[in-house]
Structure 1
Amino acid sequence: MAEVEIKQENLVYAKPRLILDNVMHYCPGCSHGTVHKLVAEVIDELGLAERTVGVSPVGCAVFAYNYIDIDWVEAAHGRALAVATALKRLRPDQMVFTYQGDGDLSAIGTAESIHAAARGENVVAIYINNAIYGMTGGQMAPTTLVGMKTATTPYGRDPRLNGYPYKIAEMMAHLEGATYITRQSVHKPANVRKCKAAIKKAFQRAMEGKGFSLVEVVSTCNSGWKLSPVASNEWLEQHMLPFYPLGDIKEVK
């Protein structure tokens, strides 16, 4: 009998120590749960559980504080990075990060996001981009693709009426204060591992005082997209990734 090779990355581990025993409110197949798990694992592995403050947004992740056992501050809609700036400046010894959706970070919160990056604040923004407003009924977001149907673009996003989607990660990459900008996904196991590595790198850079980091996670919203979880992963790969290509966009050594 051939010997079976056991790879470290294929081992199944117990629930991350920092994940609380609460039933998640997210829809089945949602990417949020996976990203929450990665954030909890990174904080635990870096030994930062007692020194981390998360800032939760308005949006699907409004209850993020129910799932990861660290200190949290709830921000008004779009103001997470302004709150994170204050927290980090008051307590520079703390690991401060925001967890925001595309509506929170790149719509109502565009000004706060851009200026935090421009100032080079030593915080991390974890940015969930599913190209739609998931919590409020599936309306068009700044990231909604051209031709994509939503509750407010039932015939598809028309640039003549709705404008074009934009990539805030590439916009931030031009700012000197933004030193690590990356775009990842969690729709496949290999991508989950890459996403975790990116989150860990961003957290480490923040604690080393190396400036602002953005970890964008191209995600699914099967409820808003009106697709099954499996079909959502396929749609993401076929339509989202060509417009939002994965990989590091900027890293200042």
Structure 2
Amino acid sequence: MFVQTLVTLFALLPFVLSAPAASTASTSSVDLKSLSSIQRSNFPDIASKIPRNCPVGNFSVPLNGSAGLSVPSGQTVSNIAVGRGIQNYTCTSGTYASTGALANLFDVSCLYTLTSGFIDPITISGLLPKMAFSALSFPDAGKLPIAIHHEFVATPGSSTPGAISPEFFTGTDKVILSKVASANAPTDPTTNVPWLQLAALDGQGTLSRSVFRLNTFKGQPPTSCTTEGEQLSVQYASMYFFTK
């Protein structure tokens, strides 16, 4: 079902771009019969043609009532990206403990602005991680330009041995953050990693003041392990909302 809806979304983009400003078009105006040949493998090629770096300050972070997550007062959305990566774990005392993540983030800001008024942003947020997971396998980015890289680095100024923190960086800017809140994924929390709210550490970059990891898809490890020190990487995808 999500594949057909996403096909509809991508098919709508040319119509939106050419429609008059006062248009009241809807997805029902799109001729979907010609889309029968579009497959999941075509999605990266289609997505590579979508514009990037559109202003998104008028959009809200779709927290969907997740307990404990909230946008700090005065902050607005500065970028929206879909991430495709791996969650890393190490077997510790019979369970897999998180040791960070690696991901490629793809700018989808214009997908939201171009479909504003036509498709509910919450629908887009729920579909894109599933599409990214289906179409790509980290670290392969296909034909899509990577807007932001995600990794974990040693926590600046920490006296705790081995402490690490999430970092997001571009060619010109970065931000290192700490986790301030998390919430179980609303669906399949044993399969999908939690939703997160991250806050920038003082003096550690200006890329954003907060980052929200939402609409997660996959990424959870098995519930137990037997080989102490065994390392495991689990593929995942999610939405990332940056605020300033």
TM-score by length of structure 1 reads 0.25
Higher relative contact order (CA 8 A, sep 6+): 2
Q: Relative to total residues, which structure has the larger helix share, 1 or 2?
A: 1
Q: Which has the higher strand share?
A: 2
Quick check: which has more Rg, 1 or 2?
A: 2
